[in-house]
Structure 1
Amino acid sequence: MAAVLIATKNKGKAKEFAALFSRFGLEVKTLLDFEGAANVEETGSTFEENAILKAEAASKAYGMMAIADDSGLMVDALGGRPGVYSARYAGEEKNDEANIDKVLSEMEDVPDEKRTASFYCALAVAQPGKETFTVSGTLKGRITRERMGEYGFGYDPIFMLSSGKTLAQLPAKEKNKISHRANALANLADSLHLILGEEGKK
């Protein structure tokens, strides 16, 4: 069975990709399947650049098709921050609660109508001997003034959707249908013919 490597050590992400590729008979592997797999330093200035760095490093290291993602929160009133620094916005230790506190503090005086934001996800697909390409997905919303909800992770408790609920108020199954990563995966599914040839069009 042919395999695709998801350049992550996150089991949750792997499940999402596995569901997408199952109909094509592809086995999904992650960096957890390779002992001693190194983490790639995310030195890019855009989500696409970071995703490409990770995908190409994994593809080169293991000689197979590799897919990597990079994603984060972009707040309009903060000039697009935290952006590529979303995971470590409040410090290199990557603390979700500290990151949320920093965003809420910086937006304390921002009126409700100007608290618009979006989650963004870039996916890069790298293959030996082929040109790397990317797809992306977004999810629009606004930043709340306090945490709401018990589900999710990261900035989910302060990201409110048009429905009036935050992402953290949605069970995983609901969130995974509308999230920025779900939208990116949908766009990737539309591009699978670039990866799998004519088979990807079926």
Structure 2
Amino acid sequence: MRKLEGERLVIATHNAGKLREISGLLAPYGVECVSAGDLGLPEPEETGTTFAENALLKAHAAAAAAQLPALADDSGLSVAALEGRPGVYTADWAERQWFEGEPGRDWYMAMGKVEGLLCAQGPVVDRSCWFSCTLAIAWPDGEEAVYEGRIDGTFSWPPRGTMGFGYDPVFVPAGHNLSFAELPLDRKQAISHRAVAFEKLVADQFAGRAR
């Protein structure tokens, strides 16, 4: 398996919250993270039907444009009672339509869509859900590696907490009473779907490299 040799890595995201989380996870390994947004790279259209396909698409686009190794994350929330939706379309559920104001993401609206669909099934609906994360590394020459993680939990309403992003305010991880957005970042990083995927990436890429 090819290893990351340099100290600079492009994080293929325009999401500041995701960049902070990934940078924190990689900090012990002496990796300097720069986002695709900071480099002015365009966001490729996510045409994949799986998390892995979308993560690889983003990683390869960033690596080719920056001529540096790139790390992409594709993650999402799946709800059991909604047959795994929104899943790979998690971010799309937060996309504003033309009649809803300026372009961008409205995560409260997206969380509300999930809640509305659950409520439509009655008061005893199954609220179990899970977050999935796929991390993909791509090199400019086309080589790639993929790592996957998952954490189970419960969809809780109303949203709680201000420290997370995306659907974090409605996700209560199994064995906890606080939502992801109520947990301090270090505690969230220790148990999250992204942390599980990063454990696999670190074991493969950075064994013995921690500072």
**Aligned pairs (5 A) from 1:45-194:** 45-89=49-93, 91-92=95-96, 93-108=104-119, 109=121, 114-161=126-173, 162-192=175-205
In 2 relative to 1, CA 23–46 (structure 1 residues): closer, same or farther, beyond 3 Å?
A: same
Query: CA shift at 1:134, angstroms?
Result: 0.8
Cross-structure match for 2:34: 29
Identity of aligned residues (%): 40
After TM superposition, the structure 1 stretch with the greater mean CA deviation from structure 2, 134-143 or 146-155, is 146-155
Report the AA paired with residue 82 of structure 1.
P
In 2 relative to 1, CA 15–156 (structure 1 residues): closer, same or farther, beyond 3 Å?
A: closer
Provide structure 2 residue ranges, at least 5 long, that are not aligned to the other structure.
Answer: 1-5, 97-103
Alpha-carbon contact 1:151-1:172 (below 8 Å) kept:
yes
Cross-structure match for 2:99: none
Report the AA paired with residue 201 of structure 1.
A
In 2 relative to 1, CA 98–174 (structure 1 residues): closer, same or farther, beyond 3 Å?
A: same
**CA RMSD of the aligned region, Å?**
2.2
Determine the C-alpha separation between the residues in 1 that align with 2:53 and 2:79: 20
Report the AA paired with residue 194 of structure 2.
R
Count of matched residue positions in the alignment of Structure 1 and Structure 2: 194
Determine the C-alpha separation between the residues in 2 that align with 1:20 and 1:144: 27
Report the AA paired with residue 32 of structure 2.
E
After TM superposition, the structure 1 stretch with the greater mean CA deviation from structure 2, 20-29 or 153-162, is 20-29
After TM superposition, the structure 1 stretch with the greater mean CA deviation from structure 2, 102-111 or 41-50, is 102-111
Higher helix share: 1
Alpha-carbon contact 1:77-1:115 (below 8 Å) kept:
yes
Determine the C-alpha separation between the residues in 2 that align with 1:113 and 1:102: 15
Q: Scaled by the length of structure 1, what TM-score is found?
A: 0.84
Determine the C-alpha separation between the residues in 2 that align with 1:164 and 1:37: 39
Alpha-carbon contact 2:9-2:34 (below 8 Å) kept:
yes
Cross-structure match for 2:207: 201
Determine helix, strand or coil for the equivalent of 2:78.
strand
Provide structure 1 residue ranges, at least 5 long, that are not aligned to the other structure.
Answer: 193-199
Query: CA shift at 1:24, angstroms?
Result: 4.3
After TM superposition, the structure 1 stretch with the greater mean CA deviation from structure 2, 71-80 or 163-172, is 163-172
In 2 relative to 1, CA 201–179 (structure 1 residues): closer, same or farther, beyond 3 Å?
A: closer
Query: CA shift at 1:86, angstroms?
Result: 1.0
Query: CA shift at 1:15, angstroms?
Result: 3.6
Cross-structure match for 1:4: 9
Report the AA paired with residue 28 of structure 1.
C
Alpha-carbon contact 1:90-1:102 (below 8 Å) kept:
no
Alpha-carbon contact 2:160-2:169 (below 8 Å) kept:
yes
Query: CA shift at 1:133, angstroms?
Result: 1.6
Q: What whole-Å deviation, never above 9, does each CA across 1:130-158 have from its counterpart, x for those lacking one?
A: 53121011111011243333432222222
Alpha-carbon contact 2:68-2:139 (below 8 Å) kept:
yes
Report the AA paired with residue 43 of structure 1.
T
In 2 relative to 1, CA 122–101 (structure 1 residues): closer, same or farther, beyond 3 Å?
A: same
Q: Scaled by the length of structure 2, what TM-score is found?
A: 0.81
Cross-structure match for 1:14: 19
Query: CA shift at 1:64, angstroms?
Result: 1.6
